[in-house]
Amino acid sequence: MIICQKIYQAKLKKDITIIRDDLYPFLGGGNKGRKIDSIGKEILTQAYDAVVTTGGIQSNHCRATAIFCAQYKLQCTLVLHGDKDKFLKESGNAKIMRMSGANIIFVDQPKDIGPTMDQAMFQYKDIGLKPYYLWGGGHNHQGGKAYIDAVHQLDPNLLIDYLFVACGTGSTQAGIMAGLSKRNESCQVIGISVARNQQSAQEHVYNFYNELCDSFSIEKRHQTIVLDDYLCGGYELYNDELKKVSDCSVRDYGFALDTTYSGKAFWGMQQYILKHNLHGNIVFWHTGGIFNFLA
Ligand SMILES: *Cc1c(COP(=O)(O)O)cnc(C)c1O
């Protein structure tokens, strides 16, 4: 299901089409709901009975994975990095993870994530289960395929010259690019990095886009563009301007733009349109983040 909404941007004097994937029908919505539904198809058809994954204490991906596993009665282990006391107190994704029945393990150091996930995998196998290893962010082929499929569902009459989207692991952007290539659409897809510098982000998106095109026999027709000009110093960081866009989003548009993902991408898009005086049809892919907004 894809919902589009046109908004008028007074500052830019133009209409922008918003793809409201924040409304994806999954608790909390957003791209992690869409990814896990696609990844889940593989988990279910190949009869896995446990999932091991990782993220932070307010991870959208871990929230979505925990809910999915609970629905299908799969064992779930979340290897979380961050402050355990905060996790036990906070609402949003943390609260839902707590309620999901998932096994939650905390690690202090990022270097402990891999070994802890390996150990959880081993323990499931040891008791005769078939566990599924899921990279943080739902970054795998099925996660990328979710976006090839999503683009396929877009209204064929939707005109796109520039499409903006938040870029974290890059699987959402790469999937959208592959989906548009498959549709024979020659627009520019511009990722706004929320964490990585330009070179690293572009490398990740480029490689994953190529992988997706190769495995789904799609002709490559998109250039990889990820901007790091709107990072505000890094993941979860923001400046006053971005904070203002986020704070005013409810009043201005009637949807929420958080400062970590969708707001950063939206603010970056606004800046980029002004800087380059972009014309044509502009589309913003809203990837969600309502719980980050409310946190
Ligand atoms: C994870 C996330 C992203 C980034 O998606 P990637 O596929 O990792 O690039 C964007 N927006 C929200 C709300 C997210 O949770």
Condensed to tens digits (0 to 9), the pLDDT of residues 109-130 reads 999 999 999 999 999 999 999 9
Q: What are the strands of the beta sheet with 14-20, ordered from one edge?
A: 4-9, 14-20, 282-286, 162-167, 188-193, 225-227
| Mean of all residue pLDDT scores within the chain | 97
Of 31, 59, 169, 226, the residue with max ligand 1 atoms within 8 A of its CB, to mutate for a pocket test, comes to 31
What pLDDT is attached to residue 11?
Answer: 83
In 3D, which of 240, 63, 48, 239 has the Cα closest to residue 137? Answer: 63
Q: How far is the CA of 78 from the centre of ligand 1 (A)?
A: 18
Q: How far is the CA of 128 from the centre of ligand 1 (A)?
A: 33
**What atom of ligand 1 comes closest to residue 169's alpha carbon?**
8
Mean pLDDT value across residues 217-222? 96
Condensed to tens digits (0 to 9), the pLDDT of residues 133-145 reads 999 999 999 999 9
Mean pLDDT value across residues 11-27? 95
In this prediction, residue 168 has a pLDDT band, given cuts at 50, 70 and 90, of very high
What pLDDT is attached to residue 12?
Answer: 85
Closest Cα to atom 13 of ligand 1: 289
Taking the CA atoms of 19, 256, 29 and 57 in sequence, report the sign of the dihedral they define. positive
What pLDDT is attached to residue 214?
Answer: 98
Q: How far is the CA of 144 from the centre of ligand 1 (A)?
A: 12
Cα–Cα distance for residue pair 218/181, rounded to 1 Å: 7
Q: How far is the CA of 127 from the centre of ligand 1 (A)?
A: 34
Condensed to tens digits (0 to 9), the pLDDT of residues 30-84 reads 999 999 999 999 999 999 999 999 999 999 999 999 999 999 999 999 999 999 9
Q: CB of 32 closer than 6 A to ligand 1?
A: yes
Of 169, 200, 211, 284, the residue with max ligand 1 atoms within 8 A of its CB, to mutate for a pocket test, comes to 169
In this prediction, residue 10 has a pLDDT band, given cuts at 50, 70 and 90, of confident
Cα–Cα distance for residue pair 256/237, rounded to 1 Å: 17
**pLDDT exceeds cutoff 80 at 290:** yes
Cα–Cα distance for residue pair 13/182, rounded to 1 Å: 32
Cα–Cα distance for residue pair 247/250, rounded to 1 Å: 7
Mean pLDDT value across residues 6-16? 91
Q: CB of 265 closer than 6 A to ligand 1?
A: no
Q: By the 8 A CB rule, do 278 and 211 touch? A: no
Mean pLDDT value across residues 149-171? 97
What pLDDT is attached to residue 1?
Answer: 75
**pLDDT exceeds cutoff 90 at 185:** no
**What atom of ligand 1 comes closest to residue 175's alpha carbon?**
7
Instruction: Count other Cβ atoms within 10 Å, centred on residue 106.
Output: 15
Q: CB of 167 closer than 6 A to ligand 1?
A: yes
**What atom of ligand 1 comes closest to residue 288's alpha carbon?**
13
Instruction: Count other Cβ atoms within 10 Å, centred on residue 276.
Output: 9
Q: By the 8 A CB rule, do 68 and 40 touch? A: yes
Q: How far is the CA of 168 from the centre of ligand 1 (A)?
A: 5
Measured at the alpha carbon of residue 30, what is the angle toward residues 207 and 275, in degrees to the nearest 5?
65
Closest Cα to atom 3 of ligand 1: 168
Cα–Cα distance for residue pair 284/269, rounded to 1 Å: 8
Q: CB of 93 closer than 6 A to ligand 1?
A: no
